[in-house]
Amino acid sequence: MVWLCPVCESEYVITQKLCDDCKKIKHCMNLYSKEEVLDVLEKVLVRQSTQIKNRVEREIKDNKEEISK
């Protein structure tokens, strides 16, 4: 019987509970706390609404400048 890693669900695990990459994540959570790891992920990887708005405005400005050239 073959099992997938319960975290990423993309790697097969036979003799361990987690794949190597997910073990690294778990290790970081043990070092820094789950809350701190989640906070960093939210701040770094997830876009906030103001960031999205700024990106859209910048793209519009860049497109207008390109059209005017």
Angle at Cα 53 formed by Cα 68 and Cα 51, nearest 5°?
Answer: 120
Whole-number Å distance between alpha carbons of 67 and 69: 5
Instruction: Read off the tokens for 61.
Output: 């400005």
Instruction: Please tell me the pTM assigned to this model.
Output: 0.60
**What are the tens digits of pLDDT across the range 21-57?**
999 999 999 999 999 999 999 888 888 888 889 989 9
The pLDDT score that the predictor gives to residue 2 is: 62
Instruction: Check residue 4 and report its DSSP letter.
Output: E
The pLDDT score that the predictor gives to residue 7 is: 87
Cα torsion angle, 47, 10, 15, 3, sign: positive
Q: Is pLDDT above 60 for 1? A: no
Where do the structural domains in the chain lie, given as residue ranges? Answer: 1-31, 33-69
The pLDDT score that the predictor gives to residue 24 is: 94
Give the residue, 66 or 32, on which the prediction is more confident: 32
The answer to whether the beta carbons of residues 51 and 39 sit under 8 Å apart is no
